[in-house]
């Protein structure tokens, strides 16, 4: 993902609608991708992950899609709730030799309107 400094892209959705947060990753050698949610004053919270041998993975109300051709990752949240309001980060890891070094995108702020 591209860092955008102080200005985070913001997605504003109505409660109950579906949300789609997008992320472009940088390294075609990356083989593991994760989405984290960060609420104000807290550390990032794991949401869902996907390995490069998959193109879709579903969790509870969340789906991650991976398009390796265009190096694009998306997080879909179904029936968005006020508690989903947070900053969402995608992260990538470049192969097993990278240990646990994650490269993070700049983040997207999700605002849910009641």
Partner 1 sequence: KAGVTQTPRYLIKTRGQQVTLSCSPISGHRSVSWYQQTPGQGLQFLFEYFSETQRNKGNFPGRFSGRQFSNSRSEMNVSTLELGDSALYLCASSLGQVETQYFGPGTRLLVL
Which residues here bind partner 1, judged by CB under 8 A? 3, 5-6, 32, 34, 36, 41-46, 49, 89, 91, 96, 98-107
Which stretch of DSSP H or E encloses residue 86?
strand 86-93
DSSP H helical segments within 1-100, as ranges?
none
In angstroms, what is the minimal distance from the CB of 36 to partner 1? 7
Q: Pull the structure tokens for residue 31.
A: 């083989």
In angstroms, what is the minimal distance from the CB of 34 to partner 1? 7
Query: Looking at beta carbons only, is 62 or 98 nearer to partner 1?
Result: 98
The tokens 């646990």 sit on which residue?
A: 100
Distance from C-alpha of 108 to C-alpha of 76, rounded to nearest angstrom: 13
In angstroms, what is the minimal distance from the CB of 85 to partner 1? 18
């Amino acid at each position: 993902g591209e860092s955008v400094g102080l200005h985070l892209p913001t997605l504003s959705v109505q409660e109950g609608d579906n949300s789609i947060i997008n992320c472009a990753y940088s390294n075609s050698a990356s083989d593991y991708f994760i989405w984290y949610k960060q609420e104000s004053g807290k550390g990032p919270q794991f949401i869902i992950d996907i390995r490069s041998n998959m193109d879709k993975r579903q969790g509870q109300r969340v789906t991650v899609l991976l398009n390796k051709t265009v190096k694009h990752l998306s997080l879909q949240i179904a029936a968005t709730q006020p508690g989903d309001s947070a900053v969402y980060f995608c992260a990538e890891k470049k192969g097993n030799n990278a240990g646990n070094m994650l490269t993070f995108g700049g983040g997207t702020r999700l605002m849910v309107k009641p």
